[in-house]
Chains A and B, each alone.
Chain A
Amino acid sequence: MHQRVARDAKPRMLMESLLGALTPLFATLTALLVGAAMLLILGANPLEAYSAMLRGAFGSTNAVADTLVKATPLLFVGVGICIAFRGGVLNIGGEGQLVAGAVAATTVALALPQWPGWAIIPLCLIVGFLAGALWGGIAGALKAYLNVNEILSTIMLNMIAVQGMNFLLRGPLMDPVQIESGSFIPQTARFSTTTDLPRLVPTRLHAGAALAVILAILIYIFLWRTTIGYRIRAVGLNPDASRAAGINVKRYMMLSLVLSGALAGLGGAVQVLGLHHRMFTDGSATGFTGGAGFNGIVAALFGKLHPLGTIPASVLFGALLVGANQMQRAVQVPSSFITALNGLVVVFVVGSDILSRRRARRRESLPSAEVPALDVQPEAEV
């Protein structure tokens, strides 16, 4: 080996990867700064607002528990997104997959009220997992075998899932009490308490949060330590070379959407068993999911599409969501401000990701990205 080693290369690399990990955090802070300007325009005191936010998210045991409860579905969806993106497919169908998993788990929970917890809980979780897998798998099959763009198909499957949910909750699954009393609120009866996920501490925090963290670790091992994960990543990075190397590209593309959907579906099942103990709808998807199907994507990006990075990223977004509610109450800003703030964070995080990737590419000069790039526009040639 006659390549002389540059002495100061190591620390510089460390610096760069540290900076890379902190970029989303800086992006969030910048977004909050812009939010502060908006608060000023709205006539509210930003300091007061943000301290209310912090208190709301972390100020008490209950607040922390609420933050973690909010983070849980984000983590389920986010880890699924990591798999899909590593496999080179974009899964925008988290909402529909959450709903599919929740509806499936709900059906089983309502149908088998006599079953003991040790049997019914795993069964509901498995059914939710499978329903999500099916919902992701449809998009996967359409992509792999009919070349249908997965962004379009997952979005359309979201709509189908929501309409299916609305139909079931206004019909076959509707709470009989609602029908008798004539109020017809579209929700199911409360499930039998045997289906309740155990609580971790005497708050709303349920075992689903722990399950999500365990899964994130397992998926990390799956992606980087197993031959299947290796193949998923190979297909995501270079389908042509993968095919020439004997990997069935279509199968692995499909598999990554199946697994991605399955995790979101499991997340949906956990939501109904651990938190709501029933299913309900306001007609839209977000009524039930709270937008977790989309926020989970952002959490995954925030976590650099790494399952372990997605854990703190989900907590941060959970905190943002919970804290924002508190802030709204404290300084009396319109609720649309909260949506705007959320949107700002998304734009800044995704934007900083694209920018830092550009920089990295500039440094290398060759078109490349460590993970399948989100930005598809070609580098403009001057």
Chain B
Amino acid sequence: MTDQISLQQRRIERVEMRGIVKRFPGVLANDHIDFEVRAGEIHALLGENGAGKTTLMNILYGLYRPDQGQIAINGQVVAIHSPANAIRLGIGMIHQHFMLVPTLSVVENVALGLPSSRGFLLDLDVVTERIRHLSQTYGLKVDPAAMVWQLAVGEQQRVEILKALYRGADLLILDEPTAVLTPQEVEELFTTLRRMAREGHALIFISHKLHEVLSISDRVTVLRDGRVVKTLPTAEATREDLARLMVGREVLLRVERPPVKLGDPVLRLEDLWADSDKGVPALRGVSLQVRSGEILGIAGVSGNGQRELAEVIAGLRPPTQGRIIIAGVDTTGWSPERLLKHGLAYIPEERMRDGVIRDFSVEENLILKNHTDRPYASGIFMNFGKIAEYADNLIANFDIRTPSRDTPLKNLSGGNIQKMVLARELSREPRVLIAAQPTRGVDISATEYIHRQLVAQRAKGTATLLISEDLDEILNLSDRIAVMYEGQIVGIVDQHEATVEQLGLMMAGAHRT
């Protein structure tokens, strides 16, 4: 293919996808999509969960073959059969799930799979030099000698970007890069992206957060149901416009929180200590209580003990000191099974790891926590008729978009997977709900839906501990807000007294009590 070789000499000026169609069993994921990105621009791709964004990008990166349609680079039609192919053409992609080898260093990861300039001998010193150069040019702070497993998520993402740049990517696709980042890291990433655009790179940016799209992109393309709704310059768009284009109706960006009568404290933590995975104390004497009908928000920069807090309450991590009291019973050291029978529901932060079994069907996942209960089981036999009824009910009530209850869960979009988890947890009428990052990676209409469900559950008297890095979400839903810093609660404020500035200061460790 001579045209592809000649392309290598030239930088990417313009990439066009024309009439792209991609079908999956039961779903038309991309329906005649036309999409274009040019050098020097940041083009945002917006759409609800399942709109087809990742599918479209996977096609551009050679992971999927389109059923119909063409891709043209600088006007020449190209065939992209594999990621290797895409990389050779100057296309790089950062997936939401990183693909680094944790036991290797940063340099080794970057050099992995590339020919060495010294034949069979490694040329890591050369690679290190180039990495230094690239990180300076683009403001990507990374220590080339560090081991990947020691790096925080934000740093790992920078390594992924470096890897793509090192391989000569002119076009960089970033699939929900900010979902796992702290607000600070998002700012750093944006600085890098702007610099790359100025250097003449083309960038495709996917996010569910409208304010990010508005602040970083030059143009926006909105997808709905696998089709392009509109492509428009960002300068001409407002938050409300974009929300309406994505969802096809008006979206409430704030939920109503009617007053409820608070009941007794249902969840009480007394001087709770616990170690992190690395064996150092991550919780250092946390005491708090949540009353029936109350949502207590836990704000804080991630890595300050929130994850450990959720896991200790859910019985997945042993506390080293202190007590947990649920509905008047000391549940310290209980197994997850006993806790869930006692009325604890848990929406884990890492839902794909801790919350679902991706190779099970939607139905099998919905029944995960009560498959031994009557009427879903009689003795050791599962009662599939009743299970099907139950699953269909939840799918309808919680608006889980799936071809059927027998569809493997992994085929659902992120937002729908989260709705499945929510359905499973809330349907058991819990006394206490631990919701960790419940809307991370979830689109705005699903977020709205999940928020409404959490507020409805509050009205039913559930005591909710809401852990989130999204301050909007915390301020929107919580009755009281506790701020965590270095394993401690640095303060608790009432929702109507809280301001973003004050919370920000507390999150940085000020206001110590």
Report which A residues bind B (CB closer than 8 A): 1-6, 8-10, 12-13, 225-228, 230-231, 233-234, 237-238, 240-248, 362-366, 368-370, 378-382
Contact = CB atoms under 8 A, between A and B. Distances in A.
Contacts of A363: 64
A363 to B, nearest CB: 7
Given A3-B225, A4-B27, 6 more contacts: A227-B371, A231-B371, A237-B360, A240-B353, A248-B335, A369-B359
A359 to B, nearest CB: 12
A240 B26 contact: no
A363 B25 CA distance: 12
Contacts of A237: 357-360
A369 B357 CA distance: 12
B99 interface: yes
Given A9-B23, A363-B64, A240 B403 contact: no
Interface stretch (B262-270, B375-383, B503-511): B375-383
B50 interface: yes
Interface residues of B, number: 54
Given A3-B28, A226-B380, A241 B368 contact: yes
- A-B pairs, top 6 by smallest CB distance, nearest first, are A246-B337, A6-B23, A382-B84, A365-B63, A9-B25, A246-B336
A99 to B, nearest CB: 31
B148 to A, nearest CB: 13
A237 B368 CA distance: 13
Contact of A238 (B31, B339, B358, B381): B358
B108 interface: no
Contact of A240 (B354, B364, B372): B354
B318 interface: no
Given A226-B382, A227-B380, A5 B403 contact: yes
21 contacts: A3-B26, A3-B401, A4-B226, A5-B26, A5-B403, A9-B27, A10-B25, A12-B25, A225-B381, A231-B371, A238-B353, A238-B356, A240-B354, A243-B316, A245-B340, A245-B369, A246-B335, A246-B339, A248-B335, A363-B64, A381-B99
Most buried by A among B26, B82, B97, B369: B26
B410 interface: yes
B377 A227 contact: yes
A241 B358 CA distance: 10
Contacts of A3: 26-28, 50, 225, 401, 403
A244 B28 contact: no
A223 to B, nearest CB: 11
A225 B225 contact: no
Contacts of A240: 353-354
B87 interface: yes
B462 interface: no
A369 B408 CA distance: 12
A382 B87 contact: yes
Contacts of A228: 380
A342 to B, nearest CB: 32
B101 A9 contact: no
B359 A368 contact: yes
A369 B380 CA distance: 27
B24 interface: yes
Given A382-B84, A382-B87, A245 B23 contact: no
A382 B364 CA distance: 36
B156 interface: no
B171 interface: no
Contacts of B356: 238, 241
Nearest to A362: B63
Interface in B174-231: 225-226
A380 B83 CA distance: 11
B382 A230 contact: yes
Contacts of A378: 101
Nearest to B337: A246
Nearest to A8: B23
Contacts of B348: 244
Contacts of B255: none
B309 interface: no
Nearest to B353: A240
B58 interface: yes
A350 B86 CA distance: 31
Most buried by B among A238, A241, A242, A247: A241
Given A244-B316, A244-B348, A370 B99 contact: no
